[in-house]
Amino acid sequence: MEQEQIIRTEYSEVMQKSFIDYAMSVIVSRALPDVRDGLKPVHRRTLYDMYELGIRYDRPYRKCARIVGDTMGKYHPHGDSSIYEALVVMAQDFKKELPLVDGHGNFGSIEGDGAAAMRYTEARLQKVTQEAFLADLDKNVVDFVPNFDETEKEPSVLPVRIPNILVNGADGIAVGMATSIPSHNLGEVIDGVKAMIKDGKITTEGLMEYIKGPDFPTGGIVVNKDELAEIYRTGTGKLRIRGRVSVEKGKNGRERLVITEIPYTMMGANIGKFLNDVAGLVESKKTSDIVDISNQSSKEGIRIVLELRKNADTQQLINMLYKKTRLEDTFGVNMLVVADGRPEVLGLREILERHIDFRFELAQRKYRTLLEREQEKREIQEGLIKACDVIDLIIEILRGSQNQKQAKECLISGKTEGIRFRRAASEKAARSLRFTEKQATAILEMRLYRLIGLEIQALMKEHEATMKNIAEYEDILNNYKSMARVIIKDLDNLKKEFAVPRKTSIENAQAAVYEEKGPEEMEVAFLMDRFGYCRTMDTGTYERNKEAADAESRYVIRCLNTDRICVFTDKGRQHLIKVMDVPFGKFRDKGTPIDNLCNYSSEEERFVYVQCMEKVRESVLLFATSMGMLKKVEGAEFDVSKRTIAATKLTEGDALVSVMCMEENQGLVLQTRNGYFLKLDPAEIPVKKKAAAGVRGIRLTAGDQVEHVWYPDGIKDMTAVYQEKEVSLDRLRLGKRDGRGAKPRQ
């Protein structure tokens, strides 16, 4: 039995190495595309499997489940969902500038609908995929590597003849890095490749004369044209994309805004979000010009219609949509690819350089293979032509030989031992034969009909064509200009057959200027009942229902709809509510709890005072706590932007009992739970900051606390009820701060 060997090592080093290995595996083998063919392994394997299964563009569709299963079993053992998702994306013309798969069935929609299950859908290769991605696999143009279990061979890269990394773009999240490459127009990219082949020193600006900018399958407008040069130079940056909006005439002189193209980033569920955002602008009264929204999109394309009011300001509305919704969005560019087995951010020029190097490598290997095949054909053809000249001798050798091996040796080396010849001259001639092994094999396999005169002439023409091909291939392999000419001709053919007009416009546009109009200022009545439900209504409605409103509401505040409401709670907090956020409606509407409008929690705190900010700002507020602490605070201190602040400082066990905006000639009476009343002059209470605790207003007996605070105004006699008996507050003797107070006479 072998003795176990324990290797001691630093844990952090093991973790570091393991994580780096894992990260590189994800980067190279899953998440990032190869700069040469622009494909991730899952896409490459799926396309190659379809090629192997013979699912060509001119043959019937096959079930996607068959494709996915075969790909997973042979090349990509990482689950069927990733393979099917990759297959679906390659078939969606709204996601890919150049779809590589021809899908049949429900392959999803631009609005975010998912594809049907793979058992229902069918697919086959597109013609461009077959001709530009897979055409030369039989010519030894790329290396084949073993699959995961070494039972099959798969290409390490596909022989793609166009810069697919630019044409279809890419996106992916790896470990610690991500790639985001926009798609481009095939015809423009091909023109850029041709220009770089002709002038290897061409600059990024020079390339941009051919490649104007990104071309998204959803169209739209790229509005920061001047920034494209820097983005293409560095490989990183941000594109600003807008949807295309047109104005159409509607009925009764009304106009409508029609969105026919959307930003690429708005595709999917973001279309529904855009519609909700537009509806939100109407509901929040940011605009009143939109009267109806409808999504009339179909297979023919996007069509979102916004019906407008008569005499609506269409340009202002378009600017608002650009500013407030995703109709104008940002596309982050990070051209991160796998180059020479490692992740690297490349600019436009570097990507095209890598593609051209790869293209020349493909051409070199292709024409070397073709040359070898033609040279092999030449060898056999020359052997057959030579054989036709001495066919009588060859027939005599065949008839005199005892077996095929003996005849073949004679043809190759002139060995005549054991062969019966009719004439000595024939044997002498046979000794001079020097065919190659391949020629001898072809002669032995030659059929007699090849001896017909016309067949011999055809053989001579074939030989001439072969010699012409050999000369052509040798010229291509040995002459850079000849190879470049062949590649450019091939690119021209691909452009002629597969290029389509540009969909995305490239321009410089000024930032959308939208001046948000504030709501029309009006006076409203804010009503809040004892349960915390609040609502607003116009003052006319309130005046008509004043008696009922005052009876049902704990607080009735007349304020402007642009104001804010301050809610002070027993926990010493101040919550702010925008009056615009409070439901506006009819008198009998229920309203909404203040819990829904601010950070107030009815389960943890209760409100002790509610007032509008305009009133609070211009007043001095008096605070009273259950432990008898008093203070005044300038109201301006509470005019803050935060929705919730600490309005006062409370000691442990203390609670805020009362807050009041003090008026001139207003009095102050503290009432405790045990029935002590203390009348004070408010002028004795000092003005402090809101973070201060205040001063003691009443000296409490053990177990007692301030229960109520009264503010008699001296105009009319105010009474308090204690133990079912009325107490006249005006008749109380004026006391001093920090006094004990007195119980009223029974």
Residues with catalytic function: 120
* H helical segments located in 479-585: 480-498, 539-544, 546-552
Number of other residues whose CB lies within 10 A of the CB of residue 342: 10
- In one-letter notation, the amino acid at residue 87 is L
Bridge partner list, 138? none
Q: How far apart are CA 376 and CA 325, in angstroms?
A: 67
**Is 518 exposed, middle or buried (CB count within 10 Å of its CB: 0-12, 13-18, 19+)?**
exposed
| Residue in 209, 116, 76 with CA at minimum distance from that of residue 506 | 209
For residue 740 the two structure tokens come to 């004990």
Give how far Cα 266 sits from Cα of 110, 171, 218, 568, Å: 9, 15, 9, 43
Q: How far apart are CA 357 and CA 567, in angstroms?
A: 71
Contact in structure between 482 and 475 (CB atoms under 8 Å)? yes
Q: How far apart are CA 277 and CA 293, in angstroms?
A: 11
∠ CA 491-495-497 to the nearest 5 degrees?
Answer: 120
Contact in structure between 439 and 378 (CB atoms under 8 Å)? no
Q: How far apart are CA 292 and CA 435, in angstroms?
A: 88
Q: How far apart are CA 688 and CA 672, in angstroms?
A: 24
For residue 420 the two structure tokens come to 């019966």
Bridge partner list, 696? 629
Contact in structure between 179 and 472 (CB atoms under 8 Å)? no
Bridge partner list, 725? 722
Element (H, E) at 66: helix 64-74
For 302, residues 6+ apart whose C-beta sits below 8 A from its C-beta are 110, 218, 259, 260, 261, 262
Contact in structure between 100 and 128 (CB atoms under 8 Å)? yes
Q: How far apart are CA 335 and CA 172, in angstroms?
A: 11
Q: How far apart are CA 563 and CA 578, in angstroms?
A: 6
Task: At 568, give phi and psi (nearest 5°).
Answer: -100, 135
Q: How far apart are CA 633 and CA 631, in angstroms?
A: 7
For residue 611 the two structure tokens come to 């007032």
